[in-house]
Amino acid sequence: MASVSITSLRKFYGTHSVLHGVDVEIADGEFVILVGPSGCGKSTLLRMIAGLETISGGTLMIDDRIVNNVAAKERDIAMVFQTYALYPHMSVAENMGFSLKLAKCPKTEIDERVRQAADILALTALLERKPAQLSGGQRQRVAMGRAMVRNPKVFLFDEPLSNLDAKLRVQMRTEIKELHRRLGSTIVYVTHDQIEAMTMADRIVVMQGGYAQQIGRPLDIYDAPANTFVATFIGSPAMNLITGKIEYTDASGRLLCADGASISLDDPAIAAFAGETVTLGVRPEHLQLCAPGDLNAFTAEVTAVEPTGAETFVVMKHGGQEVTAVLRDRLAVEPGAHLELSIAKGKLHFFDAKTGLRLAP
């Protein structure tokens, strides 16, 4: 096990910059997930940790050793690839034992360690099969087994679940989390699925456009996103963003939107923004139906209703901006109807309308 320390890490492909200086401290035994939209540089960062991409700038330390120029095979890191990259001509057991064989481990020890890993991953019955004779989920487990057998300093995962169907994905999520608890290993895991990140990680690194936008524990990020990108990326459906001008008089305020629509706001925090244009953030589950004239309330026109069974997503328009509410109750409304909604107390987020950075609280 080991810690990983990433300082101002940069990556250029030719003159094209894809990582513009990323800083992440990963503690020994921590499960860190890099999450972000496609093309944001997650895989690049992961592959730089692995030693599969050269480092253009900054430093990468594993434990207390700078490994910028250390070859991949000297870093003692195991990686589970998105396509699994199992050796097609080797059996499951040979795949898992390959690294030990290269390390000239005695045959009996290889067998023993492969057997142990196979036990944990429920692969014992499949050890003699070739990868082509396995299901997607089984291949995924073999790829993890190949990493486990080595007992490496750090485990890297690059979107390991993206080729599995939804149900298996949920199951493997639990298994990987359980595995981490059991092995206590340091894991860096890449995904573009924010739910995977939220459910599995000790800490999340939200990336976008080659920057780490925010680093923190899942619920901390959820409760206090650092900017509008993180606010809308983490959480599903995404956080509502409503831009308008704050009016504040006599301890009561409101957000005045572009076409005259407004939201009454009962929150002392807004005093600080009086007269300013801000972006108000509201999580869909913090909107509830209410009577006209309630505090923190506004009227919106329904454009779509999406029942999921447990909850109902209601998509609406308010002052020309889209607002989504997640309601616990089933609701029989047609598009075109008007609903009166209020925002739960203390659940307002404020962002700078220009920079998108979090203002308060």
Partner 1 sequence: MEAAKPSSYLLYILPSAIGFVGIIIIPFILNIAASFTQWRGVGIPKFIGLANYARLLKDELVWEGFYHSLIFILSMAVIPTILGLILAALLFDYVAARFGKTTASFFRAGFYLPQILPLAVAGVLWGWIFSPIGVLNTTLKAWGLDFLARNWLGDPGTAMLCVMFVMVWLQLGYSLVIFMSGLARVDPALYEAAELDGATWFERFRYITVHMLKPELFVVGLTTTIAALNVFAPVFVLTKGGPNNATTVPSLLAYYHFFTTNRVGYGATITTMQTALTMLLAYVFVRLQSRDQ
Ligand X SMILES: Nc1ncnc2c1ncn2[C@@H]1O[C@H](COP(=O)(O)OP(=O)(O)OP(=O)(O)O)[C@@H](O)[C@H]1O
- Name the residues that contact partner 1, by CB under 8 A: 50-52, 72-73, 77-79, 81, 83, 85-89, 98-99, 102-103, 146, 150
Q: Cα separations (Å) of 47 from 41, 106, 131, 190, 191?
A: 10, 30, 24, 10, 14
Helix ranges restricted to H, the chain: 42-50, 92-102, 107-120, 136-150, 166-183, 194-200, 218-223, 228-233
360 binds ligand X (CB under 6 A): no
Question: 150 vs 283, which CB is nearer to partner 1?
Answer: 150
Binding characters for ligand X, 22-41, by CB under 6 A (x = yes) = --------------x-xxxx
Q: Are 134 and 142 in contact (CB under 8 A)?
A: yes
Write down the least CB distance from residue 212 to ligand X, Å: 12
Write down the least CB distance from residue 89 to partner 1, Å: 4
- CA dihedral of residues 214, 218, 221, 224 (deg, nearest 10): -160
- Which of ligand X, partner 1, Mg ion, none sits in contact with 124, Cβ below 5 to 8 A by type? none
Write down the least CB distance from residue 73 to Mg ion, Å: 22
Applying CB under 6 A, which of residues 6, 33, 44, 121 lies at the interface with ligand X?
A: 44
The CA distance from 166 to 176, in Å, is: 15
Q: Comparing C-alpha atoms, which of 75, 86, 152, 140 is closest to residue 113?
A: 152
- Which of ligand X, partner 1, Mg ion, none sits in contact with 249, Cβ below 5 to 8 A by type? none
Joined tokens for residue 158: 């690059």
18 binds ligand X (CB under 6 A): yes
Question: 152 vs 235, which CB is nearer to partner 1?
Answer: 152
Q: Are 296 and 288 in contact (CB under 8 A)?
A: no
- Which residues in 183-202 contact ligand X (CB under 6 A)? 192
Question: 14 vs 260, which CB is nearer to partner 1?
Answer: 14
Write down the least CB distance from residue 351 to ligand X, Å: 24
Q: Given 3-state DSSP classes, what are the helix, strand and coil percentages for the chain, each rounded to the nearest 5?
A: 30, 35, 35
- In one-letter notation, the amino acid at residue 55 is I
The CA distance from 68 to 28, in Å, is: 19
Question: 98 vs 189, which CB is nearer to ligand X?
Answer: 189
Size of the site for ligand X (CB under 6 A): 12
Interface with ligand X by CB under 6 A: which residues? 13, 16, 18, 36, 38-44, 192
